[in-house]
Amino acid sequence: MIYGRRNVHRMLAKLAEFLDPIRVRELEGKLETESGQTRAAEWEVAIGFALSHAGKVGDFDQPSGRNPDYIWTPGDLPIVVEVTTLSDVALHDQNPVRQFTSELYRVATKLGVAKYGTLNYSFGSLEDGGRVAVAVPAKKEHVSFFSRPATKAFFEQIKQQPDHQHTYTFVERGAESSITYLPGQGRFSSTSYRSYTAPQTYRHNPVFNALKKKEKQIRDSETKHPAILFICDNDCDALRQAHTSTAGDRLGMRDIVGLFLNGQRLHKLGDLIWKQGISAQANRVHAVIWISVKENWMPFTHSSALTLSPHIEYADYAEPYLRSDEFLGKLNQALSSLPAPQQTPRNAGVVRRYQLPPHRYFWNREHRHSVN
């Protein structure tokens, strides 16, 4: 678990004081089984626990699968709270680069090729419906790939001439990739392929899909209170990119969330150039808070400390209280009550390797993002 089993059950025990017993038992069941729902339940518990330290937290009067997670009252205004998590699991399944390279080295080792030199690889890619498809075989085709005559011939060439460089070029998904053998030990292998987890377009990414789903869920709940959405890290690359990259080739969370909440007007940039207009998709979510788990490597200690990196973006129609210093202070108070993460989302099922220090969070109202 990200926070450790003992901490999570301590947080759930606190929530049990004011949540419906049926819901508490459901959360317990999800936490006890390592599945796709485990991390979602852990974050749901953590956010509820945190908010309880900065106001009153409760269930909806009539529990329903359509209802958001909590009603939070940090002051006089009740606020609807929905918690969701994002993961790149589906993207990894569609682009099995890790499995393919792992199988590549397993086969090379089995054939005795790995002892002669280093295997480097460069995978091509293409865009498919706004998503990147890396040119590697599908997972179910890995066995047949390494059984191809051309693949076997490549490894045989290395065995016959281990002191020469060899390159194997192949085509997958309509794009060209290559594996290069370089003779000699002590080299560092290199890898090259386009990121498939970085959002390429505003609409074709896990963030947009989650925002659309949760906006509908909150609207269908027919609650009249202003709503905020917490998007939490379940090993999602997009959450770690708050702003557009300096090269301008990668969308940030603030771009995606801002466009979803507020859209973009069509306006003229020059005599013949118009900036595309984008319609807002929301009318119920007043603010989105996204939280990633950040790993900070500490020089000379060969260890790292994990902290939470929270950011916030508002809808133009957001309730004024949500923009106030008082509300941001309540968020600070809430998140500062959480224990330090003990694992990254990717390694949440692995035994903890090091002790981590406590942490606090501070919010910069002008720029609407966290500063440490």
At which of 175, 192, 209 does a domain end? 192
> For residues 140 and 81, is the Cβ–Cβ distance under 8 A?
no
Which amino acid makes up residue 147? S
Residues 32 and 115 in one domain: no
Element (H, E) at 197: none
Residues 203 and 54 in one domain: yes
Tokens standing for residue 35 = 């599945």
At which of 165, 192, 219 does a domain end? 192
Residues 173 and 221 in one domain: no
Longest dimension (CA), the chain: 78
Tokens standing for residue 102 = 């792992």
3-state secondary structure of 132: strand
Residues 327 and 240 in one domain: yes
3-state secondary structure of 353: coil
Q: Regarding beta strands 285-298 and 227-233, do their DSSP bridges make them parallel or antiparallel, or are they unpaired?
A: parallel
The predicted structure's pLDDT at residue 182: 92
Residue for token pair 């702003």: 243
Residues 172 and 258 in one domain: no
Q: Is the pLDDT of residue 327 over 90?
A: yes
At which of 192, 226, 257 does a domain end? 192
**What is the rounded (10 degree) CA torsion for 342, 347, 349, 353?**
-50
Q: How far is CA 177 from CA 51, 57, 172, 271, 327, in A?
A: 49, 53, 7, 42, 51
> For residues 298 and 304, is the Cβ–Cβ distance under 8 A?
yes
Residues 19 and 155 in one domain: no
Residues 241 and 96 in one domain: no
Specify the higher pLDDT residue, 169 or 241. Answer: 169
Element (H, E) at 250: none
The predicted structure's pLDDT at residue 359: 36
Q: How far is CA 268 from CA 255, 259, 265, 277, 302, in A?
A: 20, 18, 10, 10, 52
The predicted structure's pLDDT at residue 345: 87
Reference 224, options 80, 324, 323; nearest CA is: 80
> For residues 150 and 112, is the Cβ–Cβ distance under 8 A?
no
Residues 101 and 172 in one domain: yes
3-state secondary structure of 166: strand
Residues 100 and 239 in one domain: no
Rounded to 5°, angle at Cα 82 from 79 and 84: 155
Tokens standing for residue 323 = 């923009």
Confidence category of residue 59, pLDDT binned at 50, 70, 90 = confident
Say what percent of the chain tops pLDDT 90. 66
Burial of 323 per CB tally in 10 Å (0-12, 13-18, 19+): middle
Residues 48 and 97 in one domain: no
Confidence category of residue 25, pLDDT binned at 50, 70, 90 = very high
Least confident of 98-112, 199-213, 295-309: 295-309
Confidence category of residue 189, pLDDT binned at 50, 70, 90 = confident
Mean pLDDT across the chain, nearest whole number? 86
Residues 122 and 142 in one domain: yes
pTM: 0.85
Q: How many structural domains compose the chain?
A: 2
Q: What DSSP designation does 341 have?
A: P
The predicted structure's pLDDT at residue 274: 52
Domain that includes residue 118, residue range: 91-192
Q: What is the pLDDT of residues 64-76, one digit of tens each?
A: 556 889 999 999 9
> For residues 166 and 120, is the Cβ–Cβ distance under 8 A?
no
Residues 169 and 222 in one domain: no
